[in-house]
Amino acid sequence: MAKGDEQAQIGLIVLGATGTIGRLTLDIARRYPDRIRVIGLAGGADADKLAELTAQWQPEAVAIARADRRDGFLAKLDGAWNGVCMDGPGAATQLAAWPGGTVVVNGIVGAAGLLPTLATLKAGRRLALANKESLVLAGELVCNLLEQHQSAEILPVDSEHSAIAQCLAGRTEASIKRIILTASGGPFRTLTSDQLAHVTPQDALKHPTWNMGRRITIDSATMFNKGLELIEARWLFNVPFAKLKVWVHPQSQVHGLVETVEGSLIAQLSTPDMRLPIQLAITHPESWGEAVPPCDLAALGRLDFEEADEVRFPCFTLARLAGERGGVAPTVANAADEVLVASFLRGEIAYGAIAEGLAAAIDQHCPVERPDLDDIFAADAWAREVTGVFISLSGTGSSGGKR
């Protein structure tokens, strides 16, 4: 591509621009100013950060989910930008279909990422997907949309799924025996069940290898995140749960592996830095240059692997079981977890109450086979409500109750 060739430039829309994935995506855009044009930015509540990014990137359009922060956002810019500002819960969804967008990075956290994912695919665009919740809530609907819109595609941003996609390249479905996702094990990998009962949000926020948003960091500590990733892999790679496995690998250099029927084990290794999977998702199938320094195995000396401990990490098991049960069970698990993690971070409930609240919501939910969007949103709202009640009662005798 010739320098400054506008036609060949990627029109990038970054949803969740004010978050960790958003920041790293903009790092990639900064490295390739001739090849990437940032045309849209979406944030949630952080108006100051969004205004800073808007002044810097001068996108055509901006979406801010919290309508009450719009005035503050514009005031902070003080005339330094004259694009279109959309606000409210549907703003990121509108932005995903903004004209001229060719790649949409969805780095929104939680169920709020689902509608923007659907809008991106309906617009026939490439979706660089970090928001795993889209597939957790609506894997089947997302896959149906992909089939209906030929030019739409999903490139995974989650490092494990990016690794697996790299290992799978060119392989037939029949040749795959197992897909293995790795997990760092988080900050509590070596703690006993007794020690786990006393961990604080500050302990849980100290992830040993990755620097991420608060929810995914807590979900990594409980390993709920790894259960969500199994569900994500089930839909991305169209494999049954029986073919999916997790290995704990504390060094976080191997991100995913594929075992073939012949007995070959193919692994992807790289320095743990999300800029690699983000760059691959944006540029595939082209290679634009180094995204991260390669990992130095000789300097590292050793790589360790162990089975995931489902007794000490019940949230992992609960997420996996919700995925296997299907229907709205993953939606219920995700919504309950969002509410429980926020409550744990506010210091309202103990660590153990996250698993208890999750189990309660999943046990009580009303199954719906092959849910449509209305079923999914109803299940999401129900789970948030029932979990709110669980939290308000959890100080009254539950073992994992209020601090």
Ligand X SMILES: NC(=O)c1ccc[n+]([C@@H]2O[C@H](COP(=O)([O-])OP(=O)(O)OC[C@H]3O[C@@H](n4cnc5c(N)ncnc54)[C@H](OP(=O)(O)O)[C@@H]3O)[C@@H](O)[C@H]2O)c1
* Residues in touch with ligand X (CB under 6 A): 16-22, 43-46, 65, 92, 107-109, 112, 130-133, 158, 210, 212-214, 216, 274
Which of 96, 361 has the CB closer to ligand X? 96
Which of 52, 153 has the CB closer to ligand X? 52
Q: Name the β-bridge partners of 87.
A: 64
Which of 65, 141 has the CB closer to ligand X? 65
Report the nearest approach of ligand X to the CB of residue 241 (Å). 20
Report the nearest approach of ligand X to the CB of residue 118 (Å). 14
Report the nearest approach of ligand X to the CB of residue 260 (Å). 26
Cβ-based neighbours of 139, under 8 Å, separated by 6 or more: 231, 232, 234, 235, 330
Tell how strand 10-15 and strand 103-106 pair up.
parallel
Which of 9, 159 has the CB closer to ligand X? 159
Which of 24, 368 has the CB closer to ligand X? 24
Which of 149, 214 has the CB closer to ligand X? 214
Burial, 5: exposed, middle or buried (Cβ in 10 Å; 0-12, 13-18, 19+)? exposed
Report the nearest approach of ligand X to the CB of residue 183 (Å). 12
Report the nearest approach of ligand X to the CB of residue 261 (Å). 29
Which of 112, 121 has the CB closer to ligand X? 112
Ordered DSSP codes for 109-170: -SGGGHHHHHHHHHTT-EEEE--THHHHHHHHHHHHHHHH-TT-EEEE-SHHHHHHHHHHTT
Residue 4 CA: distances (Å) to CA of 77, 242, 368: 28, 49, 52
Q: Are 8 and 35 in contact (CB under 8 A)?
A: yes
Which of 133, 259 has the CB closer to ligand X? 133
Residue 336 is encoded by which pair of tokens? Answer: 């309950």
Which of 31, 207 has the CB closer to ligand X? 207
Report the nearest approach of ligand X to the CB of residue 227 (Å). 12
Nearest residue to 200 (alpha-carbon basis) of 182, 188, 215, 183: 188
Q: Are 159 and 225 in contact (CB under 8 A)?
A: no
Distance CA 239, CA 229 (A): 13
Give Dmax over CA atoms of the chain in angstroms: 68
Report the nearest approach of ligand X to the CB of residue 89 (Å). 6
Residue appearing with tokens 């669980």: 390
**Contacts from 399-403 at CB under 8 Å and sequence distance 24+?**
399/352, 399/356, 400/197, 400/349, 400/350, 400/351, 400/352, 400/353, 400/354, 400/355, 400/356, 401/349, 401/350, 401/353, 402/348, 402/349, 402/350, 402/353, 403/347, 403/348, 403/349, 403/350
Residue of minimal CB distance from ligand X? Answer: 19
What 3-state class would DSSP assign to 281?
Answer: helix
Which amino acid appears at position 171 of this protein? Answer: R
Report the nearest approach of ligand X to the CB of residue 273 (Å). 9
Report the nearest approach of ligand X to the CB of residue 251 (Å). 17
Which of 109, 204 has the CB closer to ligand X? 109
Report the nearest approach of ligand X to the CB of residue 18 (Å). 4
